[in-house]
Copies of this chain bind each other. A is one copy, B any other.
């Protein structure tokens, strides 16, 4: 979807509530003609947004009012969950006709939302050529280059002339909304080069394409993780990335608008892990479903809290003897948490952008440890002075030492855990999630109460 599409009525997302209300009002009044006229003025992305604000029945009704041309575009744009809901209400035949109109990457996404039986039935109704293409695309694992690529592209063989390349563009112009490159392949469909359209435009029709094509092209294999694809695109400012298999055969191409979506998706993923929420929650409106999605993370946190409680109970005698120790429990756990999340955030982001390499752990740990010592001394001293004035020098000593230790440990674990997770093939962002941060709490408490008990034993003797 690009500039070419009608954008007569654009509205920002904040307006969606108001417009969804208007749509609902027209629906209830049965003003179908007015409603159709209203919908015809929307960009498919806007219509999709309105659909997402309706309940399931209304969504079906409104979707059925869309004209044949915009229905597939709108279906492409709605969120997965609503796509599945909409698909449920459609006949196999209608769904198959919509799938045929969709871009191949969006079509495979939709088919993957269906039950295997239904997917099979719908695929069988699609005309053989498109069906074969979709089946080829369906084998790629989600979130890989193969899954986000589109199989439609303009291509010519390497001994073609500019005039033939122009004909290839003409052949694809109906199917593709925007063509920026023509791919040049050999007789075995192996990628040989890329022709930007402006080169075609500026060269005489009789020019051999091989003399003007770019041969030095960044390609990716279909198995590559989409996050890696996005990093490559960002690093080299690529607008199109051809996907080729091990033999060099051109399978499809990834557009930069897909890359923008990948970057956003990865953000949501990281944020979800950091905050202990499920990605599915974004856009979820049912209170019980939200509650159920959040509960597991909270129960994990509760378990950690109880571990802390148990640990503290082991130090009951020390605490009863010196109740002021209790006052500073939040100071220690707070600081440990804050220090750990600073180090983790830097590691997570650095690993995501490639700035930090998981195979170079020691230099990074050494940097963090030194930062930990510096800031541990600074905050430890500050805390010792303040607490000393308030509660005397004994607690000041315990607090200062604990603060330094907590800093050193938190900077190192905050760095080590994401790097370790990355090495083990997990998402480093998990390191900043509720589980690890809760474990850190337990450890910080152990340091603090342990140091206090040692000193108290010493003071008693």
A22 to chain B: which residues have CB within 8 Å? none
Other A-B contacts than A178-B196, A201-B201, A319-B326, 15 sampled, CB-CB below 8 A, are A2-B196, A5-B216, A173-B198, A256-B257, A267-B267, A270-B271, A274-B345, A290-B367, A294-B342, A295-B378, A298-B338, A302-B382, A308-B330, A308-B334, A309-B330
Q: When the two chains form their complex, are residues B298 and A234 in contact, meaning their CB atoms are under 8 A apart? A: no
Complex interface residues of chain A between 265 and 299 (CB less than 8 A to chain B): 267-268, 270-272, 274-277, 281-283, 285, 287-288, 290-291, 294-295, 297-299
Stretch at the interface among A25-33, A55-63, A236-244, A452-460: A236-244
Q: Are A330 and B276 in contact (CB under 8 A)?
A: no
Judge whether A105 is part of the interface by a CB distance below 8 angstroms. no
Please name all residues of chain B whose beta carbon is closer than 8 Å to the beta carbon of A338 when the two chains form the complex.
276, 297-298, 301, 434
* Contact across chains for A236 and B7 when beta carbons are under 8 A apart: yes
The listed residue (B179, B218, B310, B327) touching A309 by CB distance below 8 A is B327
Binds B, one of A85-93, A120-128, A347-355: A347-355
Determine the chain B residues whose CB is within 8 A of the CB of A354 once the complex forms: 12-14
Q: Is A129 an interface residue (CB 8 A)?
A: no
Q: A6-B216, A256-B257 are in contact. Are A370 and B166 (CB under 8 A)?
A: no
Is A19 engaged at the interface, CB distance under 8 Å to the other chain? Answer: no
CB < 8 Å neighbour of A345 from B216, B275, B357: B275
Count residues of A near B (Cβ-Cβ below 8 Å). Answer: 134
Tell me whether A94 is interfacial, beta carbon within 8 Å: no
Contacts of A329 on B, CB cut-off 8 Å?
312, 326, 329-330
Bound-state Cα–Cα, A14 to B353, Å: 10
0 or 1 for each of A169-180: is its CB under 8 Å from B? (1 = yes): 110010000111
Q: Please tell me if the beta carbons of A302 and B173 are within 8 angstroms of each other in the complex.
A: no
Query: With A4-B196, A434-B338 in contact, is A333–B331 under 8 Å at CB?
Result: no
Seen from chain A, the residues whose Cβ lies within 8 Å of a Cβ on chain B are 1-8, 10, 12-14, 16-17, 43, 45, 166, 169-170, 173, 178-181, 194, 196-198, 200-202, 214, 216-218, 230-231, 233-240, 255-257, 259-261, 263-264, 267-268, 270-272, 274-277, 281-283, 285, 287-288, 290-291, 294-295, 297-299, 301-302, 304-306, 308-310, 312-313, 316, 319-320, 323-324, 326-335, 337-339, 341-342, 344-346, 348-350, 353-355, 357-360, 367, 370-371, 374-375, 378-379, 382-383, 386-387, 432, 434, 438, 441, 445
